[in-house]
Amino acid sequence: MGASAALDYDAELMLRVKDGDEASFGLLLDKYRAPVSHFLYRMVQDQAVSEELAQEVFLRVYKSRETYEPAAKFTTWLFRIATHLALNWLRDEKNERAQERLDQSTEDGPTREVPDRAPSVEQEMVAEVKVAEVRRAVAALPDKQRAAVLMQKYEEMEYSQIAKVLSCSESAVKSLLFRAYETLRVRLAHMA
């Protein structure tokens, strides 16, 4: 089964859900629960929050079943919902943290995590440190840049799909990705 056939199949499943077929929703849930959860985790960097957001994504998919129209690929529609929820959570979380900083007086000043760069004997440990550092660098990107990078690299979405998810043009996606990769190149230059 080719990629377009699979996408057509997903849209067909969602149309069956629209017609009241609960089993088709179960198939979509089984197929996309893990990718959506992983995407959300990479966006919010919190396992419990990503699981809650993933549940909310599928709740919204189910609630939207009666108005669903396969105008875009099913995955584009699904990840648009996930991205909006993640971006909203990140915005709200930043506002809460800013408010907490205003509410409390800090005597020690801001604390900052510094990655452990001590050389490791085992190659696997070195690889784990590098992966963690790349994840931190990606996590530090502005929200939309991070979303674009995650959709391109981890979800293997095309520019057109990412543009639809982020509600912007393909050239805006290319610009987001360019700026994100430039930032990552600078932040991770020591690893080259």
Percent of the chain having pLDDT more than 90? 62
| Helix and strand numbers, DSSP H then E, in the chain | 8, 0
pLDDT by residue (tens digit) across 62-97?
999 999 988 888 999 999 999 999 999 998 887 777
CB atoms closer than 10 angstroms to residue 115:
11
- Rounded to the nearest angstrom, the gap between the alpha carbon of residue 89 and the centroid of all alpha carbons in its chain is 12
Using CA of residue 29, residue 33, residue 95, residue 149, what is the dihedral sign? Answer: negative
pLDDT of 37: 95
Residue numbers in the chain where pLDDT is lower than 70: 1-7, 98, 100-123
Instruction: Please report the domains of the chain, with CATH numbers, ordered by start residue.
Output: 1-104 (1.10.1740.10), 119-192 (1.10.10.10)
pLDDT of 123: 67
CA angle 149, 151, 156 (to 5 degrees): 110
Q: Distance between CA 171 and CA 150 in Å, rounded? A: 17
What would the two tokens of residue 123 be? 């190659």
Q: Distance between CA 112 and CA 181 in Å, rounded? A: 24
pLDDT of 122: 63
pLDDT of 77: 92
